[in-house]
Structure 1
Amino acid sequence: MTIYLSTVIDTPGAFGEAERVRSAEDCALVVDDGVIVARLDAAEAADRFPEHEVVDLRDGILFPGLVDTHVHFPQVRAIGGLGMPLLEWLERCALPEEVRLSDVDYARAVAGDFVRGLVDAGTTTALVFGSHFPDAVDALFATASEVGVRVTSGLVVSDRILPEQLLVTPERAASASAALADRWHGEGRLRYAVTPRFSLSASDDMLAACGGVADDLWFTSHVNENPTEIVEVGRLFPEADRYVDTYDRHGLLDERSVLAHNVHPTAAELGVLSERGTAVAHCPTSNFSLGSGLFPLREHLEAGVRVALGSDVGAGTGFSILQEGLQAYFGQRLLGPEGRPLAPADLLHLATRSGAEALGLAETVGDLSVGREFDAIWVRPPGGGTLRRLVDSAVDADDAVAKIFAVAGPSDIAAVWVGGDRVSGATSESTRGSMTEATPKRRTN
């Protein structure tokens, strides 16, 4: 067993249930075989486990690992294409880059960049839009497995509108997706998601083929991101009542489904998503950079639709889910009385437990309670920097969380664990010892 000694901050329970974060200084998380088996005060841990190894992390804060519910593996090198709406950005920036992943060596290099980007930003679990090419999807899964992160992903399929190199017949899409799912779904921390790009590029026959392979797998796609896109989907699917219905009529929406964006939903669509248990990935920096609009969070929550955060790299501006939380906060402020004010506890929940719930992992990760696997990030700003001074002067845990969301970036995340395995960062030998050697070290403000 290993004992992690730190200030521990998390948000167990339902979104909005608690006004404040749960926080404990000198908290001892006892981890055995990757699972938290006890959560104790440091003094009690010293009495019960005097000789077990302790990793002293009290010079920082432990959060649960961050969860990204929408991010594009092939678009790492497309970040920064500003000044364009969605469809123009796809044509000029994203799709040419995605074509390049037909070269498997290039795909492997991008997979390395992508997974390292996730981990460096503190993301331990991600629902990932894969590639249009099976070999590239293999490269992503292999890299994620090697590093140890939790990834749900799949082959992206389309049969119209996109560049010819990215198109596939419904029959080939179904067979290739099934083969990849057989190879990777349930392999370690990996799962498979059936992934039509969006209804704009996936015909009714393609969506029907996706429905044929989606049993017991995950499903993800895009919906209601851009007004021009929505109008065109309506034209292409005259028999469907609304955008959401293009997926629902093929049985693709249930509690294992996550749809990205949904910036412009109708009340009827929110009702369908709520009834099906489908979650929505809110991607603020992408919505802002593409000018897609302000996300109606209050409407989603009042309809009973679950919401989590996504970085949407590469329309999004980076991998940091902390910064997505900050931008979500700004968006709701700009909506005024129509927005849903977000407290620090809400931001942390959206970045952690909300994502775990959306991905069906709430009993495994998302907070640092007993019984959860030890997915955690150590937020330890470098000494002498602005964030370090802000955190050291915080009046309470909620104030510290607010300052971290406002200022923190990947450089402030000193270490990352997934299932008890350290996947990023180095804890020095000086932080290791036994509980009998650990002295009280409470932070003072």
Structure 2
Amino acid sequence: MAAAHPYTVYRGTFVHLPLLNDTSAKAEIVRNQGVLGYDWQVNDDASFQSFLSSQGWTTSDVTVVESNDDRNEFFFPGFIDTHIHAPQYPNEGLFGSSGLLDWLNEYTFPVEASFGSKSDPENKDSDPKDTPPEGVRVYNEVVQKTLAHGTTCASYFATIHVPATNALAALCHKHGQRAFIGRVCMDNKEQCPSYYVDQDAEQGFNATIRTIDYIHTLDPNGTLINPIVTPRFAPSCSNESLDGLGKLAASYEPPLWIQTHIAETTDEVDLVQQLFPESTSYADVYDKANLLTNRTILAHGVHLTKDEMSLIRERGSKVAHCPASNSGLGSGLAPIRYMLDQGVTVGLGTDVAGGYSPSILEVARQASLVSRLIQFSAEYQQLTGNTTFDGSEKLLYQDVLYLATRGGAAVVDMAEDIGGFDKGMIWDAQLIELGAVQNSTTGQLDVATLAGRAVETGPVGNVDLFGNETWQEQIQKWMWNGDDRNVKSVWVQGKLVHTRDE
């Protein structure tokens, strides 16, 4: 649906969450009807024609994209996945019976190692064409699948392999998905499998630079694709590697983004204490290496202390909350409302394949469910000093939708550009269709008529509307029951990048 005119006008119903200056504040959804960014009072064809005239436009100047009120359609900001492992997509839903560290060895490292090629690591070639065909297929599938679920921006962990990492960047660019692409660094031979590890810190630096150079050539202005420095997590890296990666990120202007993991499980926290006895905490390990910056994404943070939260806030670093993964692997319950109250910026991450779904909407549901259970956690009671709770710790539907959009935008340091519909923001958006309401009729309605009507006007996916819902309740039903079938169209940077198969 390429625009045939010099301008595109989006008309209809727009739903988003206004930007909060205070991260601990409760989010509220706003619904506007009219023309995006110009006039919310364009409610009929006559006023629309008047609007066009006021801009000096005619119908031959514009392509008009409208939401359909009869089908309960609305425009919504694109979702932002702040933490996802692209090569792990084939393992989606495979948790095994053990926790994180054993799961990595049983499922994760073997599948990631398969993305290697003859030109990696000995050869200096960075050509994506050297990626094994299966790797290309996996990366192509995960990009298309996340777009189909409304994810317009994703922060991807790749593997230690340069050609395959560059292939992921090229596929995101081809499909039009905004992405941060990280070549994974892991050089601690005692903590990494012998078949999947950097030979030393220097090899990790050089390989990372090759991917950075490739991405800067692919997208010189960083319009869609940007490199992100990616130490896997502290246990997999030597001090030399962590320190060097901190310096590497800072050596660019502006500094590069950074992503890693933190405090996902208690076993991991204990391991970090053993490996880095000179540091006072897990967060301190990264801080000593200058890896805590205002462009740093820390995945999980399930078992952060209050002091660590304060340090993360002071450095301007952000947290990617991955509740589906945390529950699937039994990692724990992250105290997100408390974290927000401490001033930490939080977004959502699918953490595929620790997470079982590429859908940020599914993650939003899990984030709300976890917040409803966390009061029963002894760790949470100790952290907060409370044993009785008033419900303020819960994340409501509007709160998790905020994290899925505005929160994610802040996590990737693009709060002024994406995540909402403020004037001047980039058009990263999705058109959601909930389906028409089946109107009741007077008199007796036989089974055959009902069946025919269901085929003709039935719901889209699992969202059932009966006509008595407020628009806020419609959004709430979509949050709890929606899926990719409700995503009718997706745009990134104003370009149509996905349409649902009818």
TM-score, structure 1 as length reference: 0.90
Equivalent pairs, count: 421
Equivalent-residue separation in structure 1 for 2:90 and 2:501 (angstroms)? 30
Amino acid at match of 1:294: L
Say if 1:394 and 1:119 are closer, same or farther in 2 by CA, change over 3 A. Answer: farther
Partner of 1:292: 331
CA shift, 1:37, in A, is: 6.2
Deviations 1:204-261 (A, max 9, x none): 1110121121111000100000111111111000101111111110111111001000
Partner of 1:196: 231
Partner of 1:307: 346
Equivalent-residue separation in structure 1 for 2:394 and 2:468 (angstroms)? 21
Q: In 2, are the aligned partners of 1:12 and 1:367 still within 8 Å (CA)?
A: yes
* Structure 1 counterpart SS, 2:235: coil
1:144 corresponds to 2:172:
yes
CA shift, 1:394, in A, is: 5.8
* Structure 2 counterpart SS, 1:233: helix
Pick one of 162, 171, 175 that aligns with 1:134.
162
CA shift, 1:427, in A, is: 9.6
Q: In 1, are the aligned partners of 2:24 and 2:341 still within 8 Å (CA)?
A: no
Say if 1:114 and 1:288 are closer, same or farther in 2 by CA, change over 3 A. Answer: same
The 5 A counterparts of 1:385-396 are 385=459, 390-391=464-465, 393=467, 395-396=469-470
Say if 1:40 and 1:413 are closer, same or farther in 2 by CA, change over 3 A. Answer: same
Partner of 1:41: 42
The 5 A counterparts of 1:201-350 are 201-215=236-250, 216-336=255-375, 337=389, 340-350=393-403
Pick one of 154, 170, 179 that aligns with 2:201.
170
* Structure 2 counterpart SS, 1:378: strand
Stretches of structure 2 that go unaligned for 5 or more consecutive residues are 1-6, 53-57, 118-130, 376-388, 436-456
Q: In 2, are the aligned partners of 1:394 and 1:400 still within 8 Å (CA)?
A: no
Amino acid at match of 1:177: T
Partner of 1:122: 150
Partner of 2:108: 94
Name whichever of 146-155 and 3-12 sits farther off: 3-12
Q: In 1, are the aligned partners of 2:368 and 2:397 still within 8 Å (CA)?
A: no
* Structure 1 counterpart SS, 2:223: coil
Partner of 1:356: 409
CA shift, 1:370, in A, is: 1.4
Amino acid at match of 1:22: V
Say if 1:61 and 1:392 are closer, same or farther in 2 by CA, change over 3 A. Answer: farther
CA shift, 1:419, in A, is: 1.1
Amino acid at match of 2:480: A
Q: In 1, are the aligned partners of 2:148 and 2:500 still within 8 Å (CA)?
A: no
Structure having the higher strand fraction is: 1
Partner of 2:215: 184
CA shift, 1:56, in A, is: 2.2
CA shift, 1:113, in A, is: 1.2
* Structure 1 counterpart SS, 2:418: coil
Say if 1:305 and 1:133 are closer, same or farther in 2 by CA, change over 3 A. Answer: same
Equivalent-residue separation in structure 2 for 1:333 and 1:41 (angstroms)? 40
Q: In 2, are the aligned partners of 1:16 and 1:346 still within 8 Å (CA)?
A: no
Name whichever of 341-350 and 96-105 sits farther off: 341-350
Q: In 2, are the aligned partners of 1:297 and 1:339 still within 8 Å (CA)?
A: no
* Structure 2 counterpart SS, 1:55: strand
* Structure 2 counterpart SS, 1:53: strand
> Runs ≥4 in structure 1, deviation > 6 angstroms?
none
Partner of 1:437: none
Name whichever of 281-290 and 47-56 sits farther off: 47-56
TM-score, structure 2 as length reference: 0.80
Equivalent-residue separation in structure 1 for 2:230 and 2:392 (angstroms)? 31
Q: Tell me which of the two structures has the higher relative contact order, counting C-alpha pairs closer than 8 angstroms and 6 or more residues apart.
A: 1
* Structure 2 counterpart SS, 1:188: coil
Equivalent-residue separation in structure 2 for 1:393 and 1:291 (angstroms)? 40
Q: In 2, are the aligned partners of 1:296 and 1:339 still within 8 Å (CA)?
A: no
Q: In 2, are the aligned partners of 1:344 and 1:399 still within 8 Å (CA)?
A: no
Deviations 1:156-193 (A, max 9, x none): 01012222232111111112212221221444311111
CA shift, 1:46, in A, is: 2.7
Q: In 2, are the aligned partners of 1:280 and 1:307 still within 8 Å (CA)?
A: yes
Amino acid at match of 1:91: N
Q: In 2, are the aligned partners of 1:21 and 1:344 still within 8 Å (CA)?
A: no
Q: Percent identity?
A: 32
Deviations 1:35-80 (A, max 9, x none): x566553444331215233122223121100000000011000111
Equivalent-residue separation in structure 1 for 2:43 and 2:183 (angstroms)? 47
Say if 1:190 and 1:389 are closer, same or farther in 2 by CA, change over 3 A. Answer: closer
Amino acid at match of 2:35: A
Once superposed, what is the RMSD of the aligned Cα atoms? Answer: 2.0
Partner of 1:155: 183
Stretches of structure 1 that go unaligned for 5 or more consecutive residues are 30-35, 429-445
* Structure 1 counterpart SS, 2:303: coil
* Structure 2 counterpart SS, 1:259: strand
Name whichever of 233-242 and 44-53 sits farther off: 44-53
* Structure 1 counterpart SS, 2:84: strand
Say if 1:11 and 1:394 are closer, same or farther in 2 by CA, change over 3 A. Answer: farther
Deviations 1:393-434 (A, max 9, x none): 363232122111111111221111101111000699xxxxxx
Task: Kindly name which structure, 1 or 2, has the bigger radius of gyration based on alpha carbons.
Answer: 2
CA shift, 1:12, in A, is: 1.7
Equivalent-residue separation in structure 2 for 1:131 and 1:358 (angstroms)? 22
Partner of 1:377: 430
Partner of 2:443: none
Partner of 1:7: 13
1:414 corresponds to 2:488:
yes
